[in-house]
Chains A and B, each alone.
With several copies, the nearest count.
Chain A
Amino acid sequence: MPDIDQIRQLIEMMVSNDLVELSVRDGETEVTLRRPNPKGSETVFHAIPSYSGPMPAMGPSGGGAAGSTVEEAATELVEIRSPMVGTFYSAPDPESPPFVQAGSHVGPATVVCVLEAMKVFSEIKAETSGTIERVLVGNGEAVEYGQPLFLVKPS
């Protein structure tokens, strides 16, 4: 194993000189470094979700809004996404406990939150069965269309 410091130097040179591949071999010792080809990697449109259906209630598709969470989610978890633009409320009213929280079991008809837009409150249903893995939005936060609200581990 070559000295870590040398490798660090190699990486620095690689990045500062914008190389995509660097490989060094010396007898038994071999180091190979690779970076993504910068071409087009800055153009953001790769982040556009693959689907473009009318309204994605849920689904493991990689949604732009959720970033890495989604990638991770894509493996096994399922998202519940916002079907609208509005304000997220985790409970029916300030006094009541939240509809669901991490660990809650949900069925397709389970109400998981309400979204308020133009003074109208809409109940959002899970539309899937499983256990809430994570709540992705805080109470009272604004959410946009297609934004993941919950991660659910399907049962």
Chain B
Amino acid sequence: MFRRILIANRGEIALRIIRACRELNIEVACVFSEDDRGSAYLELADQAICIGGASPKESYLKSDRLIAAAEVAKADAIHPGYGFLAENAAFAEKCRACNIEFIGPNAAAMRLLGDKASARSVAKRAKVAIIPGSDGVLEDDNEAVRLAEKIGFPVMIKAAAGGGGRGMRVAYDKTDLLSSLKQARQEADNAFKDSSVYIERYIDRPRHVEVQILADRHGNVVHLYERDCTLQRRHQKLVEESPSPAIDTRTRESLCAAAVKLAKAARYDSAGTVEFLVDSRGRFYFIEVNTRIQVEHPVSELVTRIDLIKAQIRAAAGEPLGFVQKAVRPAGHAIECRINAEDPDEKFRPCAGVVEKFRVPGGPGVRVDTHGYEGYRLSPQYDSLLAKLLVHQPTRPEAIRCMQRALREFHIEPLRTTLPFLRKMMAHPDFLDGNIDTGFVERSF
């Protein structure tokens, strides 16, 4: 097992990893930027190392400085968390070249699944249903038009290197397609320095359901069942739950089996997520793989009682999983609400500043993951996730009632947050009925 881990991340996920290391009795060093200096979670690490200025480009994205920090900290592994360099295969290789294990999958699997086009071909080989569309990147607009007419409009345009909805466009006809392609390439170039895009059939009113995968370096792969992340706004997840209220046992089983097949086909060997779209008739289509731990991983931890971060670290250290699929027995219903410092009344504009009042809920069935506290200064440099509020109860209705009372207890001032929005969500009849799709928020609010 590792002796000392360097955390190459910040905020709540850095704190989450510190907690896992403490419980595994592994020493932990954490990097920080000038803007994160003095954050309370850093006091919980054995060592905190300043690596640069506030802007991520000057700190959390500077791979050389992260590795140099691991060297001075004498860390034998780096945990990348999510975002920043978590899905950067070159960084993973660089770490390992310096004899510092990258806590994540092997670089080949990262590359294979990180690029959506090649991920689609893996899925095809593994006989996992995919959305009809261009196999790989589009050569030119003519090919796009031919293909779109073959698939049938409307079609979805996506960035090959994309994520979080950037570089995504829906085109309803040929002229629409041509202009959208231009914009999508532009966005993709700005966001990922890679303008290549592909198109696929547009699925109307789909649900977003993803399967948590856990694999080790010995070829063992299990799934930790699904998370339903249908409640999104502009492809940003707001609420996640497990089990999904919208799929039956048979769909659940084939969905999870498909995810495992795909992971095995890619020789995946860490924690990861296989994302699917599920249409109104319960048909599911593979969309992409996230080769990292995700923000919403605690949802699966609650229903399976498996600590994903610990398991991910053990796998990276070369330990076998130590349990089989049959030993994963989900129990109860878990829901996560993301409390972001965003103003729901102003198009979810991010808010920064000092948190003066911060009262978190507690009591039975409640879990809170947050790096916030009274006096915490939220920097405009980073994403606006301030807290993850989770509940675990025997049934979905009980979980929702528990979430309602917990949201009522949560007080954050003076920053505007998504709390009022989430309170509305948890009382919305369509959510209570589990009768929503990924477009629900845009249509209803």
Contact = CB atoms under 8 A, between A and B. Distances in A.
Main secondary structure of the interface of B (DSSP, over half): mixed
Given A47-B38, A64-B38, A85-B72, A52 B376 contact: no
Interface string A140-155: 0011111100000000
B319 interface: no
A48 B374 contact: no
Interface of A: 15-16, 18, 38-49, 52-55, 64-65, 84-87, 117-118, 142-147
A45 B375 contact: yes
Interface string B24-37: 00000000001101
B1 interface: no
Given A18-B377, A84-B65, A42 B34 contact: no
Nearest to B94: A118
A145 B38 contact: no
Interface string B52-69: 111100110000110111
B37 A39 contact: no
Contact of B38 (A43, A53, A142): A43
Interface of B: 34-35, 37-40, 49-55, 58-59, 64-65, 67-69, 71-73, 98, 353-354, 356-357, 373-377, 380, 413-414
B27 to A, nearest CB: 15
Contacts of B98: 118
A70 B230 CA distance: 52
Contacts of B354: 18, 38-40, 45
Contact of A42 (B51, B59, B357): B357
Contacts, number: 111
Nearest to A38: B354
B58 A45 contact: no
Contact of A41 (B53, B58, B375): B375
A49 B71 CA distance: 25
B175 to A, nearest CB: 43
A91 to B, nearest CB: 19
A38 B376 CA distance: 9
A151 to B, nearest CB: 19
| Nearest 4 Cβ contacts at the A-B interface | A40-B375, A44-B38, A43-B375, A117-B68
B274 to A, nearest CB: 35
B50 A144 contact: yes
Contact of A43 (B53, B59, B376, B414): B376
A54 B326 CA distance: 52
B375 A146 contact: no
A117 B356 CA distance: 40
Given A39-B356, A40-B375, 14 more contacts: A38-B414, A40-B354, A42-B413, A43-B375, A45-B38, A52-B54, A53-B53, A54-B53, A84-B68, A85-B69, A117-B68, A145-B52, A145-B59, A147-B50
Contact of B72 (A42, A47, A55, A142): A142
A38 B65 contact: no
Contacts of B59: 145
A128 B356 CA distance: 42
A147 B354 CA distance: 26
Contact of A85 (B51, B55, B374, B413): B51
B49 A85 contact: yes
